[in-house]
Amino acid sequence: MITILNDNFSQLNTFLHEKSFSKIFILVDENTHEYCLPILLGNMETDLGFEILEIEAGEEMKNIQTANQLWEILTEMQADRKALVINLGGGVITDMGGFVASTYKRGIQFINIPTTLLSMCDASIGGKTGIDLMHYKNMVGTFAFPEQIFIFPKFLETLPFKELRSGFAEMLKHGLIADKNHWDQLIQIRKLEAETVIPHIQTSMNIKQDVVDKDFHEQNIRKTLNFGHTIGHAVESLCLQQGNPILHGEAVAMGMIAEAHLAYLENLISEADASVIIENVQRYYPYLDINDFKDEDITALLLNDKKNTDRKINFSLLSGIGSCTYDHQCSQENILESLSFYRKLNNA
């Protein structure tokens, strides 16, 4: 269940009061420790004891070493099966905290309190938890629902612009795959800031939740939430491998541009729709230089995508603005042409 919190966090307090947890473990990174934890602790009313678990910020921390440290700390602190993990942070924290909680002692309960735009609209919802393996994105993980998701949009007031823009990419994706009206509303936004995006969070969350409700384990329609991610994750992985990580939403924005062109090449959308999508995504995101990446290296990562079957790359591609297909296999020629198209945008 998703709840938008009042200023005094009363719904969270009721939740903590009604359940019989033994202890609370609050997972934060260094930034959510500084900016969000004081707000949570200032409003949280409970007799339960709590501990703060802090990790460094960033995608590079979303790995087995961090998970192992957290499992060890929970063990040393004698967290039992009635302990509650509160994930207070962005997608790295909700992915990591959900993964650690859903595997520790074969699963303890956790809640998500997302603090980035990306985690409010996307990562905190839907129960995908996980960590990266080497530079491969989200290769190890679980499907595990949080007990609750509590949204407090005012957390966005301290979020850096680049992070806000990263989350906006997933919102644009939600519009493109499922709701043209949402897309149309979003592209009216001239200046990305907390104030201009907050009114659109609820719609974006609902789109994600609706898709997940229909297909929790990603057997069919949930694959549409991966639009932009087949190429986007490959590029994000290569940047991670080089020790030069980019933000997830930046990779998704790049991936949506390349995959919009790919949908056109595969005769799924018109050239006019592809142009509208590409031009609008470009308005928000600076060009991401992929010239250092060879086609073979990108293709090798595409061949490891989680949506693949029988060694075939299954794309989730738009069939219009507001609709999306999945399990679409493209010609190798068109895949390479979509990368080449993206590279040329630099000089356009």
Ligand X SMILES: NC(=O)c1ccc[n+]([C@@H]2O[C@H](COP(=O)([O-])OP(=O)(O)OC[C@H]3O[C@@H](n4cnc5c(N)ncnc54)[C@H](O)[C@@H]3O)[C@@H](O)[C@H]2O)c1
Ligand Y SMILES: O=C(O)C(=O)C[C@@H](O)[C@H](O)[C@H](O)COP(=O)(O)O
For ligand X, the binding residue among 166, 204, 226, 316 (CB under 6 A) is 166
Q: Binding to ligand X by residue 115, rule CB under 6 A?
A: yes
- Count interface residues toward ligand X (CB under 6 A): 32
CB of 213 to ligand X, least distance (A): 14
Q: Binding to ligand X by residue 146, rule CB under 6 A?
A: no
For ligand Y, the binding residue among 13, 69, 138, 142 (CB under 6 A) is 138
| Active site residue ranges | 106, 128, 170, 208, 218, 222, 226, 229, 233, 248
Classify 29 in phi/psi space as left (phi over 0), alpha (psi -120 to 50) or beta: beta
For ligand Y, the binding residue among 31, 74, 85, 122 (CB under 6 A) is 122
Range 203-232, binding ligand Y (CB under 6 A)? 218, 222, 225-226, 229
Query: Using a CB cutoff of 8 Å and minimum separation of 24, what contacts does 247-252 make?
Result: 247/162, 247/163, 247/166, 248/59, 248/91, 248/118, 248/166, 249/118, 249/165, 249/166, 249/167, 249/168, 249/169, 249/170, 250/165, 250/166, 250/169, 250/285, 250/288, 251/288, 252/169, 252/170, 252/173, 252/228
User: How buried is 87 (Cβ within 10 angstroms: 0-12 exposed, 13-18 middle, 19+ buried)?
Assistant: buried
With residues binned 3-state (H G I as helix, E B as strand, rest as coil), the percentages for the chain, rounded to 5, are 55, 15, 30
Residue nearest to ligand Y (CB): 138
For ligand Y, the binding residue among 43, 142, 187, 306 (CB under 6 A) is 306
- Given a contact cutoff of 8 angstroms between Cβ atoms, the answer to whether 86 and 25 are in contact is yes
- Specify the residue, 159 or 176, whose C-beta has the smaller distance to ligand X: 159
- In what side-by-side order are the strands of the sheet with 2-4? 2-4, 149-151, 109-114, 84-89, 24-29, 50-55
Say how many CA atoms lie within 13 Å of 256 toward its Cβ.
Answer: 34
For ligand X, the binding residue among 24, 79, 86, 95 (CB under 6 A) is 95
* H or E stretch at 142: strand 136-143
Q: Binding to ligand X by residue 119, rule CB under 6 A?
A: yes
Q: Binding to ligand X by residue 84, rule CB under 6 A?
A: no
For ligand X, the binding residue among 48, 57, 64, 345 (CB under 6 A) is 57
Residue 119 binds which entry of ligand X, ligand Y, none, CB below 5-8 Å type-dependent = ligand X
Q: Binding to ligand Y by residue 249, rule CB under 6 A?
A: no
- Specify the residue, 128 or 200, whose C-beta has the smaller distance to ligand X: 128
Q: Binding to ligand X by residue 248, rule CB under 6 A?
A: yes
Contact set with ligand X (CB under 6 A): 29, 31-32, 35-36, 57-59, 62, 89-93, 95, 115-116, 118-119, 122-123, 126, 128, 137-138, 155, 158-159, 163, 166, 170, 248
